[in-house]
C-alpha cells in the first residue's frame, strides 16, 4: 500500500514541476512539442530511476561528508549513458533536446530525490518514488508541451488538430509562450490549493 503511495504522490500531490516547481529549465525550453516533452520525460525518468536505485542501495556505504559529490558523480554517469544511448537510437529527439539532456545532471529534482528520499529509504520504495516522480514530471511536461503545441503550432504529436482555417499563435512555442503557459498553470495550481485549504 505504502509503495503505491510513494508512486502516486509524485503525480499530483507532490508533482515535481507544478507543485514543487523544480526542474523548470527544461520544462520551459523543450516543451515546444509533445514529442520533445515525452522524450525528455522518459530520459529524465530513466536517469532518476537508475540513480535512485544505486544511491539507495549504496546509502549505507557512502560517507556522509562526501555524499553530495558522490551523488553528482553517480547521476552524471547515468546522464552520460542516457545521452549516448539517445544519440545512438533516437537521433532526431537527441537533436531536438540538445543541451538539455546533459543538463539533466543539474536538474534539482534528481539531487533532491537522492538527498530527500533515496538516501533514507530502501531500494523498493526508492524505485516507486523515482517512477512516481518521473511519471509526474513527464505528465507535467506533456501537459505543458501539449498546450504549447496545440496553441502555438496547431498540432498535437505533429498531427494537425486545429483545422486549416485557424492560424495558431506562434508565440506559444517561442520563449515568451513558455513563460506564459507555465505561469498560467502554476496560477491554476495555486488557486486549487487555496480552494482546498
Partner 1 sequence: MRNIIKLGVFLLVVAGLAGLGIAYVNGLTEPIIAGQLLESKLSSFKEVYADADEIKDETDTYLKGADPVIAEINVAYKNGAPAGVIYTVATAGYGGPVQSLVGFDIESQQTTAVKVISQTETPGLGAKAVENSFSDGFKNKDAARPVEIVKKEPVQGNQVLAITAATITSKAVADGVNAARENFMSNFVK
Partner 2 sequence: MSELGVIIIGAIFINNIVLSQFLGICPFLGVSKKLSSAIGMGIAVTFVMALAGTLTWIIQSYILNPLGIAYLQTIAFILVIAALVQFVEMVIKKTSPGLYKALGVYLPLITTNCAVLGIAIVSIQKNYSLIEAVVNNVANAVGFTLALILMAGIRERIEESDIPKCFHGFPIALFTASLMSIAFLGFTGLL
Partner 3 sequence: MLYAVISLAAMGAVFGVMLAVASKKFAVEVDPRVEEILQALPGVNCGSCGFAGCSGYAEAVVKGEAPVGACNPGGAEAKQKMAAIMGTDTADSGMERKIARLLCNGSTSNSSMLYKYEGIEDCHAAAVHYSGPKACHYGCLGLGSCVKACPFGAIKMGTEGLPVINTDLCTGCNICVQTCPKQLLQLAGISQLVDVRCRNKGKAKEAKDVCKAACIKCKLCEKNCPEGAVQVVTDNEGSVAVIDHTKCTNCGICVTKCPTKAIEKASPIKAEVCAVQDGPSENKPAGCGSCHICG
Binding site for partner 1 (CB under 8 A): 32, 62-63, 65-66, 69-70, 73-74, 76-77, 80-81, 84-85, 87-89, 91, 152-153, 168, 170, 173-174
Q: Name the binder of 163 from partner 2, partner 3, partner 1, none, CB < 5-8 A by kind.
A: none
Grid coordinates of 184: 498560467
* Closer to partner 1 by Cβ: residue 1 or 61: 61
Q: Which residue(s) pair with 156 in the sheet? A: 159
Cβ neighbours of 69 (radius 10 Å): 10
Among all chains, which residue has been given the C-alpha cell 508565440? 171
Q: Name the binder of 99 from partner 2, partner 1, partner 3, none, CB < 5-8 A by kind.
A: partner 2
* Closer to partner 1 by Cβ: residue 87 or 191: 87
Q: Does 158 bind partner 2 (CB under 8 A)?
A: no
Q: Is the Cα dihedral 137, 156, 87, 98 positive or negative? A: negative
Radius of gyration of the chain measured on its C-alpha atoms: 18
Q: How many residues bind partner 2 (CB under 8 A)?
A: 42
Stretch that binds partner 3, among 66-74, 90-98, 132-140, 149-157 (CB under 8 A): 66-74
- Reduced to 3 states (helix: H, G, I; strand: E, B; else coil), residue 160 is strand
**Interface with partner 2 (CB under 8 A), residue from 4, 57, 84, 170:** 84
Q: Does 69 bind partner 3 (CB under 8 A)?
A: yes
For 41, 82, 170, the CA distances from 85, given in Å and listed in that order, are 15, 5, 32
* Closer to partner 3 by Cβ: residue 32 or 119: 119
For residue 152, the minimal CB distance to partner 3 (Å) is 28
Helices (H), the chain: 2-9, 24-29, 34-57, 67-89, 91-97, 108-113, 123-153, 175-196
Q: Is the Cα dihedral 22, 26, 27, 28 positive or negative? A: positive
Using CB under 8 A, list all residues that contact partner 2: 21-22, 24-26, 28-29, 68-69, 72-73, 76-77, 79-80, 83-84, 99, 102-103, 105-108, 111, 171, 174-180, 182-184, 186-188, 190-191, 194
Amino acid at each position: 500500500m505504502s509503495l503505491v503511495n510513494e508512486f502516486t504522490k509524485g503525480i499530483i500531490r507532490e508533482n515535481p514541476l507544478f507543485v514543487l516547481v523544480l526542474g523548470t529549465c527544461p520544462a520551459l525550453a523543450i516543451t515546444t512539442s509533445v514529442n520533445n516533452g515525452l522524450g525528455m520525460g522518459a530520459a529524465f525518468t530513466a536517469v532518476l530511476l537508475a540513480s535512485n536505485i544505486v544511491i539507495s542501495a549504496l546509502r549505507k556505504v557512502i560517507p556522509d561528508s562526501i555524499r553530495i559529490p558522490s551523488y553528482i558523480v553517480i547521476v552524471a554517469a547515468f546522464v552520460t549513458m542516457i545521452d549516448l544511448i539517445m544519440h545512438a537510437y533516437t537521433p532526431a529527439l537527441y537533436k531536438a533536446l540538445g543541451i538539455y539532456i546533459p543538463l539533466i545532471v543539474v536538474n534539482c529534482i534528481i539531487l533532491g530525490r537522492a538527498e530527500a528520499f533515496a538516501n533514507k529509504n530502501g531500494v523498493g520504495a526508492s524505485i516507486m518514488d523515482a517512477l512516481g516522480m518521473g511519471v509526474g514530471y513527464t505528465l507535467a511536461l506533456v501537459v505543458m508541451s501539449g498546450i504549447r503545441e496545440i496553441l502555438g503550432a496547431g498540432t498535437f504529436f505533429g498531427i494537425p488538430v486545429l483545422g486549416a482555417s485557424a492560424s495558431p499563435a506562434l508565440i506559444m512555442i517561442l520563449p515568451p509562450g513558455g513563460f506564459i503557459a507555465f505561469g498560467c498553470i502554476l496560477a491554476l495550481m495555486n488557486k486549487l490549493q487555496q480552494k482546498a485549504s
